[in-house]
Structure 1
Amino acid sequence: MNSTALSAAKSRLRASMKQRLASLTQDVIASQSAKVFESLSKFKPYIDAKNVGVYLSMPGGEIQTESIVRHAIASGKQVFVPYLHKSGLPSGEGPVRLMDMVSLKDVRDYETLKRDKWGIPSIDAATVNERKRSVGELDGERSEDISLDLILMPGVAFDVDSETGDIRRLGHGKGFYDYFLHRYALGIAAAQKPLDSRPAVLLYALALKEQLLSPDAEESVPVGSHDQPIDGVFLGDGQIKESAKKGSD
């Protein structure tokens, strides 16, 4: 599939999923979010993790992460959350904006985050230099790279590749996570020589059960060479789907 066809296929699936998820009530989303939290809280890699990256959720249409953030902080974990900023790259040499993961100081810090135009709690740019970073370069300044043990990611749709058993993820179309993971791999994880060219950090998504495409459905998640496979996905019905390679470890 060429790049034009791939982009069109992704756009169609995003539009289809947006319509499907729009019918879900807040009560349904809250119930599924609670089941994801219950599964995650018993998940050994999460229990053992010291540094956890987690997305901060929109008010609707996806698994809510507030209880996860609060639990992780209360459990003594260092929580890292997305921070979007201008890349500073010359035009045509990369994305205009980059995503990095920066640390929360404590629960009070989380509670004081202001919501952006999408209703997502967001890091104040004025505080970034006071925070730890998972990729040390930010706005041209270097700091210590902090290695993450687990990243909990959002997504629009997911499925299981019938040939490889990989969990495939369709993002929101900005490429923030794929480019972040590429930079992360070149930095910390590349030095650790991960298998299968995957970052050494565990990559799990959180999804409403409606976001997992059935093997019998006509739809599937279209992927290109730059799309990052993930290790698994926590679903709103309590299931944890893991990639075939991960499941065979």
Structure 2
Amino acid sequence: MNSAALSAAKTQLRSLMKQRLKGLSNDSILQQSKAVFDSLRSFRPYVDANRVGIYLAMPGGELQTDLIVRHALQSGKQVFVPYLHKSGLAPGEGPARLMDMVSLAGIDDYESLRPDKWGIPSIDAATVDQRQRSLGELEGDAAADATLDLILLPGVAFDEDPDTGVIRRLGHGKGFYDYFLHRYALKCAGRGDVSDGRAAVLLYALGLREQFLAPTSAGQQESTVPVGPHDQPLDGLFLGDGQVKLSANSGHTEQSQR
């Protein structure tokens, strides 16, 4: 699939998912978010993780992460959340804005975050220089970086590749996570901190059950997640119906709950 066809397929699927999720009630989202939290909090990679990167959710239309953030902080984990900043790159050399993951100081810090224009709790730019950063850069300036053990990602749609057993993710189309993970992998490679050619960080997505594209009763896929060379494969996916789907390449021993 060429780049134009890939982009068109992604746009079409995002539109389909937007329509599917539009009528979903807040009660259903909260119930599903609680189910994911219940599955995650006893999941060994999460239990063992000391530094966890996690998205902060929009008020509606996606799996909520408030319970997870609070539990992680109360469990003594270091929690890192997304922060967008100017890239420091020259025009034409890359995107104007980059995503990093920066640390929260604790519950009070988390509760002090103010919503952005999408309603997502966001880091105040004035506090960033006081925080650890997973890529150790800000607007082109280097700083000490902090490695992550686990990243919990959002997404628009997910499926399982029938040939490889890999869980695939469709993002929101801005490329922030894919480019962040690419840069993170390069930094890990520079330190020798890689596993099977990938950055030594576990990638699990969180999704509503309506976001998973499952085979129909006739055995046909209702739709598929189109992926390109820059789309990152996942180690697994937590769904709001309690399912935990693991990619065939995850190397994790717990069985997927289907």
- TM-score, normalised with respect to structure 2: 0.94
2:42 maps to which residue? Answer: 42
In the TM superposition, 1:62-211 aligns within 5 A as: 62-192=62-192, 194-211=194-211
How far 1:246 sits from its partner (Å)? 1.6
TM-fit CA distance, 1:247 = 5.0
Whichever residue aligns with residue 217 of structure 1, its letter is: Q
Q: Distance in 1 between matches of 2:95 and 2:144?
A: 23
CA deviation string 1:127-155 (max 9, x = no partner): 00000010011122221111100000000
How many pairs align? Answer: 249
CA distance in 2 between counterparts of 1:126 and 1:172 reads 27
Residue 238 of structure 1 corresponds to which residue in structure 2? 242
Q: Is the 8 A contact 1:189 1:200 kept in 2?
A: no
How far 1:96 moved relative to its partner? 1.2
Contact 1:192 1:200 in 2 (8 A): no
Given residue 238 of structure 1, which amino acid in structure 2 is its aligned partner? Answer: G
CA–CA distance in 2 between the matches of 1:189 and 1:152?
21
Q: Name structure 1 gaps, 5 residues minimum.
A: none
Residue 61 of structure 1: SS of its match in structure 2? coil
CA distance, structure 2, for counterparts of residue 219 and residue 190 of structure 1: 38
Aligned-residue RMSD, C-alpha: 1.2
Distance 1:28 1:247 in 2: 32
Question: How far apart are 1:228 and its partner, in Å?
Answer: 0.5
Secondary structure class of the residue paired with 2:250: helix
Same amino acid, percent of matched pairs: 67
- Counterpart of 2:52 in structure 1 is 52
Structure 2 gaps of 5+ residues are 254-258
Q: Residues 86 and 138 of structure 2 are in contact (CA less than 8 Å); yes or no, is this contact kept in structure 1? A: no
Paired residue secondary structure (1:5): helix
Moved over 4 A (4+): none
- Deviation digits for residues 4-51 of structure 1 (CA, Å, limit 9, x no counterpart): 000000000000001101111000000000000000001011011100
State the secondary structure of the residue aligned to 1:204: strand
Whole-angstrom CA distance in 2 between matches of 1:121 and 1:40: 22
User: Given residue 70 of structure 1, which amino acid in structure 2 is its aligned partner?
Assistant: R
Answer with 165-174 or 215-224: which moved more: 215-224
Contact 1:56 1:120 in 2 (8 A): yes
Conserved? CA contact 2:158–2:170, under 8 Å? yes
User: The residue matched to 2:94 in structure 1 has which SS?
Assistant: coil
Is the deviation greater in 181-190 or in 226-235? Answer: 181-190
Once residues 63 and 195 of structure 1 are traced to their aligned partners in structure 2, the CA distance between those partners, rounded to angstroms, is 29
Question: How far has the Cα of 1:195 moved from its partner?
Answer: 3.5
Secondary structure of 1:168's counterpart equals strand
User: By how many angstroms is 1:192 displaced?
Assistant: 3.3
